[in-house]
Amino acid sequence: MIVIAVLLGTAAALVQAGPLAALGVGGAAVALPAALAAGWAAVRGPREGLAAVFAAAVVLGVLSEVRVGLYALVLLPAAASGTLAGMRAPGLRMRAIRAAGAGLLGAMAYVGLLVAMAGGRSGDATLGWGLATSAFVAATTCVALFPLRPRGGRLFT
């Protein structure tokens, strides 16, 4: 599953750098790699969430000619909060709600980096919709992956 996480992180970064960036501020605020990593880490754990984050950071860094480390630092809170979302939350509903919050946190960190690199502050109204979309993508990823969650290794659980 870690290979799939890397491939999805790479694909999310390519979509983020291409079609979503063309939509302007609202599209850039979606932070698709962060949302995907948050939802993935909420179900599959930190190893796979971090793999998706670093694959996306490499792609975004190479495409934008910004240091890869900056993107890695910005996307890490999404994976970390996604991991926290999955802890002690056995049910799907609670994990999905927590993953949505993790996706929102990751998108806010990503947008913060974009605003800091632009040297200003964005007051665009579509920014809120982009952040809400990130939360939705994280929750949807969590719900879609829930049947593939790792089990405790016991026979009947």
pLDDT at 23: 67
In a domain, 22, yes or no: yes
- pTM of the predicted model as reported, rounded to 2 decimal places: 0.76
In a domain, 155, yes or no: no
In a domain, 86, yes or no: yes
Confidence of residue 58 (pLDDT cuts 50, 70, 90): very high
In a domain, 154, yes or no: no
As for how many domains the chain has, the answer is: 1
Q: Which domain holds residue 36?
A: 2-148
pLDDT at 55: 93
pLDDT of 88 > 80? The answer is no
Q: What is the CA radius of gyration of the chain?
A: 15
In a domain, 90, yes or no: yes
In a domain, 137, yes or no: yes
Average pLDDT of the residues of the chain: 77
- Tens of pLDDT, residue by residue over 20-47, are 766 665 556 667 888 888 888 888 888 8
Q: What percent of the chain has pLDDT over 90?
A: 6
In a domain, 139, yes or no: yes
In a domain, 133, yes or no: yes
Confidence of residue 89 (pLDDT cuts 50, 70, 90): low
- Tens of pLDDT, residue by residue over 96-135, are 777 788 778 777 777 777 677 666 665 566 677 777 777 7
